[in-house]
Copies of this chain bind each other. A is one copy, B any other.
Amino acid sequence: MIKNKSVHTLLDELASKASTPGGGSAAAIMGAMGAALLSMVANLTVGKKNYEGVEEDMKKLLQRTEELRSQLTGMVKADVEVFDKVMAAYGMPRDSEEQKTSRTAAIQTALKEATDVPLECARLCAEVIRLSEPVAEMGNKNVISDAGVAVLAGYAALRSAALNVYINIGGIKDEEFVQDRRGQLEEIMDGMDKLNEEVYELVKSKL
C-alpha cells in the first residue's frame, strides 16, 4: 500500500512510466496533507495559554480533521484500485461479439467507480477547505501559516480530484449518471474558489 511506502518511493513511482500511482493518488495525498496540517494547528492550540476560550471548538475541529485525514488517506488506495480496474476492463478480450459485450459492460462499470472515487475525494477536500476557515480564525497564531498551507493543499486537491472526475466521466454512456455526477461535482465546487482566497488572505493578514 502506498501509505506504507516512503515519500521517496512515492515520488519515484509518481514519476515513473507506470500509470499508477498518478494524479488521483496525488490529489488524495494533498488532501490528506491539508487535513493533517489543520490537525497540527488544532493540536498546537488545545491546552495553550490564551486559547482557553476556543479549546472546545478546536477539540471538535480536531476530531473532524483527523477523520478527514484518515478518509483521504484511504482514497489513495481506492484511487489505485479503481484505476487498475479500468485498465483491466480495457484489457479484456474482444474477439467474439459476446466478449465485446462483456468488455464494454466491464469498462462502463469500472468508469463509474473511477468517477465516484475522485468525486468522494473532492467532497472530502471541500470539507478540508471549509474547516480551514475556523482553524485559521481561532488557531494558535504562531502556526497559522500552516492553516494557510492546509487550505492551499485542500484546494489543489479538490481541483485535481475534479480533473479525475472529468477524465473518467467522458467515457460513460449512461447520460443520467453523467448528469447526476456533474451536478454533484458542481455543487461540491461551488464557492470553494472564493473561500480558498478568503482563508489565504486571512492567514496572510495574520503573519
Contact = CB atoms under 8 A, between A and B. Distances in A.
Interface of A: 2-8, 10-12, 14-17, 19, 22-23, 26-27, 29-30, 32-33, 35-37, 39-40, 43-44, 65-66, 69, 73, 76, 143, 145-146, 148-150, 152-153, 155-156, 159-160, 163-164, 166-167, 170, 200, 203-204, 207
Contact of A5 (B7, B39, B43): B7
27 contacts: A3-B11, A4-B6, A4-B7, A4-B8, A7-B10, A8-B73, A11-B36, A11-B73, A14-B37, A15-B39, A15-B40, A17-B40, A17-B44, A26-B33, A26-B149, A26-B153, A29-B33, A30-B30, A30-B156, A145-B164, A148-B160, A149-B160, A149-B164, A152-B156, A152-B159, A153-B156, A159-B200
A17 B36 CA distance: 11
B23 A163 contact: no
Contacts of A204: 163, 166
Contacts of A30: 30, 33, 153, 156
A177 B118 CA distance: 44
Contact of A156 (B11, B65, B155): B155
Given A3-B7, A30-B33, A43-B17, A145 B159 contact: no
A26 B6 CA distance: 15
Contacts of A8: 3-4, 73
A23 B69 CA distance: 16
Contact of A7 (B22, B29, B37, B148): B29
Contacts of A32: 11
